[in-house]
Chain A
Amino acid sequence: DAGITQSPRHKVTETGTPVTLRCHQTENHRYMYWYRQDPGHGLRLIHYSYGVKDTDKGEVSDGYSVSRSKTEDFLLTLESATSSQTSVYFCAISIGARGYTFGSGTRLTVV
């Protein structure tokens, strides 16, 4: 889908360690998003970006930071992972009237 890839696909990490998830797109879209998905909570926006070095917070941004140094890459960092950050993380790009295109997701487990 629209050349968007996430890495890693799965990760298990220990509480207190930093973790970085990567989202890569090949189509030069301006807007990129990070969501987390938990049972019963749908998709909640963590951070989004509207251009290189232009980012903003979403509804659940505490404990997360992002960076976008190139149009094609949007990184999500958990500064000090906690068990409450165990989740499935989706990256997405916005294609206007064609909606969001999501990556395949990263399943993160914090033990």
Chain B
Amino acid sequence: GQQVMQIPQYQHVQEGEDFTTYCNSSTTLSNIQWYKQRPGGHPVFLIQLVKSGEVKKQKRLTFQFGEAKKNSSLHITATQTTDVGTYFCAGLSIDAGKSTFGDGTTLTVKP
């Protein structure tokens, strides 16, 4: 079945440093979505990417979808303490009718 790998599992940064998490799928994707989960909370939808090579920005967050539509990344510039949480990708395989979530990257930010 489809597998979605996400790295790193954990990332500890100093406030102001950049952060990147990577998502890799074993199959070609129709789309990829990104979610953020604050500690003790539920996942919240951030964005969906659909096109090969697509890049989208949300303030300090930059999302990319690979040319082959099998990988994606989320980059946060100049992290803040409010960025703390776990970031998940979810890939919808071309062959499947539902998305598969990666295991998430947990970001901690030291003030």
- The contact of B101 among A40, A43, A105, by CB within 8 Å, is A43
For this complex, into which size category does the number of interface residues on chain A fall?
20 to 34
Give residues of chain A (54-111) contacting chain B, Cβ–Cβ below 8 Å. 58-59, 90, 97-105
A43 neighbours in B (Cβ, 8 Å)? 43, 88, 90, 101
CA distance A45 to B1 in the complex (A): 13
Cross-chain contact A59 with B103 (CB below 8 angstroms): no
Cross-chain contact A40 with B103 (CB below 8 angstroms): yes
A35 neighbours in B (Cβ, 8 Å)? 101
Cross-chain contact B88 with A105 (CB below 8 angstroms): no
**Closest CB in chain B relative to A5 CB, distance in Å:** 12
**Which residues from chain B sit less than 8 Å from chain A, CB to CB?**
1, 6, 9, 33, 35, 41-45, 48, 50, 88, 90, 98-104
**Which residues from chain A sit less than 8 Å from chain B, CB to CB?**
1, 33, 35, 40-45, 48, 58-59, 90, 97-105
A42-B88, A102-B42, A102-B43 known; 13 other A-B pairs, CB under 8 Å? A33-B98, A43-B90, A43-B101, A90-B43, A98-B45, A99-B33, A100-B45, A100-B90, A100-B99, A102-B44, A103-B42, A104-B41, A105-B42
